Amino acid sequence: MHWADVAAQSLSHKGNKHVVSTGITPSGEFHIGHLREILTGDMIARAAKNAGLDVDFVFIIDSADPLRKVYDFLGKEYEQCVGQQLGAIPAPDKNGNPDWERFHEEGWTYAQHFLQPFLKALSEIGVKPRLIDNLESYRSGRFSDLAKIACDKADEIKECIERVSSRELPEHWFPWSPLNSKGGLDKVKVTGYDFPNVHWTDEYGGTGVSDITKGEGKLPWRIDWPAKWGWIGVTCEAFGKDHGAAGGSYATGREIVQLLGHEPPQPLVYEWISLKGKGAMSSSVGNTIGPIEALQLVPPEILRLLIAKSKPNKAIEFDTGMGLVTLADEYERLAARDFGSELADDTLSRRQRVQIEDASGAMRMASTVDGQQAHATSVTFRHLALLAQTKKDDSEVWASLVASGAIQSVTPQLQDRLHRMRHWIESEHFPEEMRMNILKKPNLEMLQHFTSDQKNILRNLTVALQACTWDSAAIGSCIPQAARDLELPPRMAFTVAYAALMGTEKGPRLAPILAEMDQQSIRELLNQCLVATE
């Protein structure tokens, strides 16, 4: 069974009606790492629905959380907003400073600014949760009943947090953080409580009353999270390994939610996604690639497969170079398989059957439409990358694929892939080992270092390619033969060919590239190289 099916099966033993929840704080640009949380929840919800359960999938926007500092991508003017709630401060303008004008005219907030591109990406990737805005939930009183219980049981909750987390809370700690005289959640001390009022004083000399029922403040995170489980009715939630650590917020939350009169949800802890060569992704330090940016490179099904094929407790390294090419081609191979026929084989070992079931489940979850099967395009990403670089016009790409028998007609799926491929090629993420650049004129600096053997190979190669049948197989034979005829190592012929045609010592496979080029232009370039070496 796929890991999402296993989670769904576990839920089925606890009843028929479930709420699967995910949540993110919109403190900065969302990145691929955030997709792991919401896609993990989406896949569990999808598997639960397929198992016949009544499932509500929710995405909680933690807009009631404060701006913790002025991040590197923000202007200095945000100093005045530190400590204030993300859903109550302006979005940044083009210079990274608070856009007060738009905030007052349209109510456009910091949280909305960073959330909207992510929601656009979710729509494209086939994720459609019910959205819950946390700040709005506080202001509308949805937290008030459980906040009252928390405040009434302040001593019990404090004891729980200190015992489980092994850390000591301040003497005047209270399970409600009032908004201070500057609208922030920091530098404030609770001085009294009589529901619904929490009395406070702050370090700015201000005093006041916070009305819990109006959301004039919020519960601290370790109480906010279990309170959400309670009033929303969450029965399953995926969360990062930091929350799942011993003494972490899930460990305290599962006890606190019971003090609030509810049961903890079934947990699913996931590992981080890191960016190859750069470590764990972080919005605050700028080590990210966003979902929108990633979707400009590859189709959404391939990003879904990245999450679906790895068990949640396995770390993922996201590689926007060759790793992405390999993942895309893996998708094509899996999409072309008939898993039903494979599983019908009675001679399969248990291990083989599990592997097939895992692959089949991953492809079910990779589809952007639940219940829709993935379809192979018969064109690998490597081949499409070659064509996109050698054919400037899309019609030439399709003509080449039809002529080679790779496709019979052009589908919207293929058109979408080519569009994204062209964007990928133009981006910084395209792998250099696949970047092809046939010269317009000889690289004289490289040619002047040719030995007599290399010059002789160049003469043989020029003659051979002039008479060669212009296809990949024939060209691939001609190149090494130019050296063999001189009783020289075949690898020398490739060194000569790369230097003459690409101005490099090595590169992507040359024969398939040349087969897609105009034969006459290659002949002319080689003749120019011959002249330059004489």
* pLDDT confidence bin for 277, thresholds 50/70/90: low
Picking from 223-232, 252-261, 348-357, which range would have the lowest pLDDT averaged per residue?
348-357
Give mean pLDDT, residues 271-284: 68
301-335: b (≥16 Cβ within 10 Å) or e: bbbbbbbbbbebeeebebbbbeebbebbebbbebb
Tell me the pLDDT tens digit for each residue of 54-70: 999 999 999 999 999 99
**471 is written with which tokens?**
């296809």
| Nearest CA among 151, 134, 169 for reference residue 212 | 151
| Nearest CA among 59, 57, 37, 43 for reference residue 238 | 37
| Cα 262 to the center of its chain, rounded Å | 33
- Got the DSSP string for 151-183? HHTHHHHHHHHHHHH--PPPTT--S-EE--TTS
3-class DSSP state of 244? helix
What percent of the chain stands above pLDDT 70? Answer: 98
Return the higher-pLDDT residue of 434 and 155.
155
What percent of the chain stands above pLDDT 90? Answer: 76
CA distances from 521 to 100, 106, 439, 453, 527 (A): 59, 58, 10, 25, 10
Say whether pLDDT at 288 is over 70.
no
CA distances from 509 to 50, 386, 424, 523 (A): 45, 10, 19, 19
The secondary element (H helix, E strand) that includes residue 238 is: strand 236-240
Tell me the pLDDT tens digit for each residue of 32-46: 888 899 999 999 999
Give mean pLDDT, residues 270-276: 84
> For residue 498, what pLDDT is reported?
93
Query: Can you give the pTM of this predicted structure?
Result: 0.87
Picking from 143-152, 216-225, 289-298, 398-407, which range would have the lowest pLDDT averaged per residue?
289-298
133 strand-pairing partners: 61
Say whether pLDDT at 183 is over 60.
yes
Tell me the pLDDT tens digit for each residue of 503-525: 988 888 899 899 988 889 999 99
Give the phi and the psi of residue 226 in degrees, each rounded to 5: -65, -30
- Cα separation, 495 vs 409, in Å, equals 38
Picking from 245-249, 333-337, 376-380, 395-399, which range would have the lowest pLDDT averaged per residue?
376-380
Tell me the pLDDT tens digit for each residue of 362-382: 999 999 998 888 788 889 888
> For residue 286, what pLDDT is reported?
52
Say whether pLDDT at 301 is over 90.
yes
Say whether pLDDT at 275 is over 80.
no
Tell me the pLDDT tens digit for each residue of 445-496: 999 989 999 999 999 999 999 888 999 999 999 999 999 999 999 999 999 9
